[in-house]
Amino acid sequence: MFDAMDVGILSFVIAAIAIDWNLTSTQAGWIGSVNSIGMAVGAFGFGLLADRIGRKTVFMLTIVLFSIASGLSAFSMTLTAFLILRFFVGAGLGGELPVASTLVSESVPANERGRVVVLLESFWAAGWLIAALIAYFVIPSYGWRIALIITALPAFYALYLRRNLPDSPKFVEDGKPKQSMVSKLTSLWSKKYIKRTLMLWIVWFMVVFSYYGMFLWLPSVMVLKGFVMIKSFQYVLIMTLAQLPGYFSAAWLIERAGRKFVLATYLLGTATSAFLFGNAETLSMLILYGSLLSFFNLGAWGALYAYSPEQYPTAIRATGSGMAAAVGRVGGIFGPLLVGVLLARGFEFGFIFSIFSVAIVIAVFAVVFLGTETKQLELE
């Protein structure tokens, strides 16, 4: 929830900073991209660290890092200072997501694992809703700096976790790590796991590339289509509400229909909605297709976070999930940048969102042809 609140607020802050600092669309695109550079570094580094020192310790470290850096970014006076701090925010965010899903997947029985991890991810929608509410009530009256100061508060949650959160029973049971860092990385590409790793890397890259390209620009898209900023925040809030049924339906289906079916189906829904949203002109069509985009895309995200840790044994689970997420974050670097560059060159939103639709269809093929079904299998 806190993770999504931070990413969500950034999408609204970009729209406000662009006006405040008179940024070009390319400069605004860099704000989203530097966040993803940090996320790539964080997912890779903290994933490896979680397999070495434990899930709980790394989980707390990442929360403190992204909260404090986000709060400090409120005091930035230049774009450069803001970008540097957003890198550290991204590192914390990128590390937290795969480590949290690994911790939870190792802590629940096989027959509930997929559903519980998707429900864990559903709190992403709650975070986006909080971000949209802060953007609606705080940014217009008090400015984007106050909104960012609020994002420092999750750091205090780490104090609660330190006392009350148990570490992963599978990690504790497995004992001290027996593999070196190099050995862990090469294991991902061993004969047993090469197909799974390739599938995850393709899916993560395409999904994150399209998600950050589309969702970080949503408020700005509404402004550029002629709606005033305060109204744009309202419309994005409505679209964000559609994330919750997306998650809950995916959570219900994932233990019944399986991971591959849910992931492929929801990704196809995302691709179709993205194309229709990019080509919509009227307000009612924008809200309808934007809501469908939120529904399918976030349902797919939940399934992906449930599916990723199930591909590997305990010794390399966080490393494998973290590496896949890191490759995805590389896609997240290019998504917002691509939108900024194409807008600057006069391309229409219909064309830009069609690119994201094609990327997601590629992810569907990877899941269908390279994926292994892991429904209710015991973790290695």
pTM of full prediction above 0.85? no
135 near 7, Cβ under 8 Å?
no
Neighbours of 279 (CB within 10 A): 15
The Cα 367–Cα 207 span in angstroms is 12
Considering Cα of 193, then 198, then 199, then 201, what sign does the dihedral take?
Answer: positive
| Predicted confidence (pLDDT) per residue in 275-287, tens digit | 998 888 888 888 8
List of domains in the chain: 2-165+180-370 (1.20.1250.20)
The Cα 33–Cα 90 span in angstroms is 10
Neighbours of 370 (CB within 10 A): 16
Q: In the structure, how many helices (H) and strands (E) does the chain have?
A: 18, 0
CB burial of residue 17 (10 Å; 0-12, 13-18, 19+): buried
Q: Which two tokens stand for residue 220?
A: 């700005």
The two most distant CA atoms of the chain are separated, in Å, by 59
328 near 205, Cβ under 8 Å?
yes
Dihedral angle computed from the Cα positions of residues 193, 199, 201 and 203, in that order, rounded to the nearest 10 degrees:
-150
111 near 379, Cβ under 8 Å?
no
Neighbours of 264 (CB within 10 A): 21
Number of residues written out for the chain: 380
Q: Which two tokens stand for residue 122?
A: 């559903």
The Cα 325–Cα 304 span in angstroms is 10
Q: Which pairs with CB-CB distance under 8 Å and at least 24 residues apart come from 262-265?
A: 262/299, 262/300, 262/303, 263/203, 263/300, 263/303, 263/304, 263/307, 263/367, 263/371, 264/364, 264/367, 264/368
Dihedral angle computed from the Cα positions of residues 210, 243, 273 and 358, in that order, rounded to the nearest 10 degrees:
20
Q: Which two tokens stand for residue 330?
A: 């590389």
Dihedral angle computed from the Cα positions of residues 242, 245, 248 and 252, in that order, rounded to the nearest 10 degrees:
-140
pLDDT in tens, the chain (380 residues): 988 888 888 878 888 888 889 988 778 878 877 888 898 899 989 988 988 888 899 999 999 999 999 999 999 999 999 999 999 999 999 899 888 888 998 888 888 888 898 898 888 888 888 888 888 889 888 989 999 999 888 888 888 888 888 888 888 887 656 677 788 888 888 889 999 999 999 999 999 999 888 877 776 676 777 766 556 667 777 777 888 899 889 989 998 888 899 999 999 999 999 999 888 888 888 889 989 998 999 899 889 988 999 999 888 888 899 999 999 988 888 887 888 888 888 888 889 999 999 999 999 999 999 988 877 677 66
Helix (H) or strand (E) holding 229: helix 229-241
